[in-house]
Structures are given as C-alpha cells and as structure tokens.
Amino acid sequence: MTFTSFGFLIFFPTVILIYYLLPEKYRRWFLLLASYYFYINLKPVYAVLLAGITLVTYAFTISIARAKTARNKKLLLILDIVMTLLPLFFFKYYNFVNTAIYGLLNTAGIRWPLPEISFILPVGISFYTFMALGYAIDVYHEEIEPEKNLSIVALFLSFFPTVLSGPIERASNMFPQFRGKFQFDYNKIVKGFQLILWGFFMKLVIANRIAIFVHFIFRDVEHNSGSSLLLGTLLYPIQVYADLGGYSLIAIGSAAVMGIDVMQNFNRPFFATSMSQFWRRWHISLISWLTDYIYTPLSFRFRKYRLLGTVIALMLTFLISGIWHGAALTFIFWGLLQGSFLSVEAVTSKQRRALFKKYDLTKKRWFIFASCVFVYLLFAFSELFCGPVSSMGKTFLIIKKIFLNLNSPLYYGSPSSILFTLAGILILFVFEWQTKGHEGHFPFLDNKNWLVRKLSYAMLIIIILMIGVFDGGQFIYFQF
C-alpha cells in the first residue's frame, strides 16, 4: 500500500477513526499494528526484515549502554552497524560489488563467477536502516538513553507515514512522542490534512505530469532532439522535488493528524542562492543525518588539515550519499559532483563574502535571482547522473546533444498537457515564493473568512482531481 493507492484512502481514515476512539494507553500499540499491516501489504517477507533490524537495534542499544569498558562499547557498536547494514548491502549492493570483483578477477585471468541475485529491493530499507544506525550511534555517544520498551523502538522504525521514504527521523525526536499520551489536537489535525492535500497536489498534479514528458524524453535518448533533452533536463529537478517533497508532506501530514510531529524534509530549495544553502533545504532529513553521522566525524578526524580536511570530508560524505542512492557509477559520479560544488564554495567562501560585501550584492534582486537560476542549473545538470537514465554513456550523450543539437524540433506533448504542467509549476513557485507551506502556513486555507477557506479547499481538491495524473506510477524514492 502506498499513499497514492486506493487502499490508502480506505486505510488512513479507518486508522484515524479507530486511533481516536481507542483509549490513549492502547494508541501506541494500535499504531504499531497499523504500521506493520501497512508494510506487510507491500510484501509480507519484507516485514520480517524490518522486525529483524528492530530486534538487532533494540538488543544492541541496550548492550552498548550496559557495556563496562569503552572497548566493549565500541565493539558492540561496530557489530550493530555491520548487522544492520548487512541486509542493505545484500539487497542493494551485492550484484554491483559481485560484478566489479568478477570484472577485476577476469582482467587478472581468473574466472570465478558468483551467481547474480535478482531480489527486488525492500521498499524503505535505505531509510529505516539509517534511522536504526542513527539511534545506535546516539546511544553510543550517550546522547540518548536506550529505550527499554520494544514497542517504542519497533514503532519508531516501522511508523507507517515514514517507513517507505522517510523523512529519516531521529530517536531523540520520536521516542518522547511515542512515550507520550497521543492526545487529540484539533489544530494539528487540520494542519495535517492541509499538508496532505498540498502533498497530493505536488505529487499528482506536478510530479506525475512532468513524469509524462521526462519519461518520454529520457526513454529514448538516441532519437530525441537536443532541445527536448534540454527540456527534460530542466524539468527533472522539479519532478523529483514535487515527488519526494510531495511524499514528505503527505508523510508529515499523516503523522500530524495522529498528533505526531515529524521533521521538515524540504524548505523551498529552488530559492537557494548557493549550493551549500541548497543542501540545507533539499532532503533535509538525509543531509542532516549525513552531516551528523558521516561529515562531522570525518571533518573532526581531518581537522588538522583545515580547509583541505573540510574538502576531504565533503567529498567522502557526498560519495556515501551517492552510494546510498544506488549501486551504479552514475550515482557515485553524482556524489562526487555535489562534493566538488560544495568544496569550491568552501574554499572560495571568504573571497565570495568579501565580493558580496563590496558591491552589496546580497541585497540586489537581480543578483539573488541570478544566483537562484545558477544553483538550479548546476543542480539540474548534476541530477542527470541521479536516476533519469541508467548509464554514464547515456548521460554524456544527453549533455553532448544539448550542446550540439539544440537547434532541433522540441517535443512538448499536447498543448493542453504542457499548459497544465507549466501552470502547476507556476502555482508551486509563486506559492513557495510567497508563503512557507512546508512549515504549515497556507494563507488561503487558513484565511479568517469561512467562505474563502472552504472555497480554497474545494478549489485545491478540484484541481487535484481534474488535472492530477492518477496512474503516474510510483514515488521516485521508493527505488532508493
């Protein structure tokens, strides 16, 4: 079951109804039951994996806290990390590493093939694995006490709004809420439904509509024109944003309806004026996880090399981010590209600040606009390596055709289709420019006038139903 499936339209209202009818003390258990039911619906065997990682995390976090010596604590943490990562490695990276080793041995004249494994990646594994690891590392660093109640750890990792694609939450935020009273809060419920509605708008009206173009354009790179490929390249970042951003809002909104606060995952990323600002606004839960558990320890280790240490830590962190996205050379290259962008900014930060100050650039509108466009173009270029096509060869062919074959016929589907797509994007950008929807501020939906409020809800629902694409396939980040 996923957020855009018909099943969810039955599942979610039923869950809310039973949840609030039940006495408070049973609500956590009910949420756990509902979450496992939600996850089992995808494929029952995956739930066994989720339960396994839950038990490993539960047992090891308690053992880490109880260990008497620093050496034992470290040993237990390493064991926990290995055991938690094993399933992810097996499902996601086995074939990639297997092929690489085989290729290496083959060049040395040794033929020793291991069988290929064709399992489908369990949905959400990359997300709950990171949540489990973060929790164990926090216990190791004594930033959080280990949770003795298994149901709280189990709910943290399986919570149905976040289990499939995040936001990658932290135990320090979720445990206190799961220990709490699960009280009815009318305002939170209204906010939750607003976020869900806006999330559906982003996914169904924007992401799925753009997907029609992008899918057609990138499906046949060889035969599509340079101008069409440029259109696909420019639209793809908005598709990914509306897809994962929309998913995140539905997740955050669903949790809010049940009184649970889940962290923000995006904050108007396309209004960022630098790449470092962009990465503080894009997929925030993943980037802050990587910052805390990968970048900070690495930059601490390399701190004596000063700026060079920062660059090494950045490159390694984004390399890991690339590998997290998938086992392919394109993702690795994508990670290195992001690391390079941020490194250039880090190395030139003093000079850039001096230049901005000298000409008072940060207050000039044209400069802010140009910076946003520049960041968008850099990101759009880098995203060519993050999913739309499957190989480096195809990615380079796109780039080559954009530069050498730009003066060519443009594919834009039917006039109504491109019009609806552009209108959707325009609404999204104007809305994000004017408001802070991601923080739950919706001017029309929150209007003091009863009629304006009701009409705004009706309009949004009508737009989703009329322009939304309901057979647009799955959320992009399910593949990660």
Partner 1 sequence: MKMEMLIEKLTTIFRKVFDDETIVLSDQMTANDIGSWDSLSHMLMITQVENAFSIKFSLREINKLKNVGALIRLIESKSVND
Which residue ranges make up the site for partner 1 (CB under 8 A)? 141-143, 276, 280, 291-292, 295-297, 299-300, 303-304, 306-307, 309-310, 313-314, 342, 346, 349-350, 353
CB 133 within 8 A of CB 168: no
- Tokens for 223, please give them: 């035969």
Give whole-number Cα distances, 32 to 15, 38, 44, 158, in Å.
11, 10, 15, 7
Q: Which amino acid is at 240?
A: V
Closest CA to 445 of 457, 459, 429, 430: 457
Minimum gap (Å) between residue 160 Cβ and partner 1: 31
Helix 329-347 × helix 392-404 angle, to 10°: 60
DSSP collapsed to 3 states, the chain: CCCCCHHHHHHHHHHHHHHHHCCHHHHHHHHHHHHHHHHHCCCHHHHHHHHHHHHHHHHHHHHHHHCCCHHHHHHHHHHHHHHHHHHHHHHHHHHHHHHHHHHHHHHCCCCCCCCCCCCCCCCCHHHHHHHHHHHHHHHHCCCCCCCCCHHHHHHHHHCCCCCCCCCCCCHHHHHHHHHCCCCCCHHHHHHHHHHHHHHHHHHHHHHHHHHHHHHHHHHCCCCCCHHHHHHHHHHHHHHHHHHHHHHHHHHHHHHHHCCCCCCCCCCCHHHCCCHHHHHHHCCHHHHHHHHHHHHHHHHHHCHHHCHHHHHHHHHHHHHHHHHHHCCCHHHHHHHHHHHHHHHHHHHCHHHHHHHHHHCCHHHCHHHHHHHHHHHHHHHHHHHCCCCCCCCHHHHHHHHHHHHHCCCCCCCCCCHHHHHHHHHHHHHHHHHHHHCCHHHCCCCCCCCCCHHHHHHHHHHHHHHHHHHCCCCCCCCHHHHC
Q: How far is the CB of 403 from partner 1 (least distance, A)?
A: 33
Least distance (Å) between residue 310 CB and partner 1: 6
Q: Which is nearer to partner 1, 353 or 441 (CB)?
A: 353
Which is closer to partner 1, CB of 37 or CB of 356?
356
Cβ 140 to partner 1 shortest distance, Å: 9
Spot the catalytic one: 215, 325, 438, 441: 325
223 is known as an active-site residue: no
Minimum distance from residue 179 beta carbon to partner 1 (Å): 22
User: Least distance from C-beta 281 to partner 1, angstroms?
Assistant: 13
Return left, alpha or beta for 122; rule: phi > 0 is left, psi -120 to 50 is alpha, else beta: beta
Q: How far is the CB of 372 from partner 1 (least distance, A)?
A: 18
Min. distance of Cβ 175 from partner 1 in angstroms? 18
Q: Specify whether the CB–CB gap between 166 and 58 falls below 8 A.
A: no
Residue nearer to partner 1 on the CB measure, 74 or 400 = 74
Q: Which is nearer to partner 1, 149 or 172 (CB)?
A: 172
Show which residues are catalytic: 325
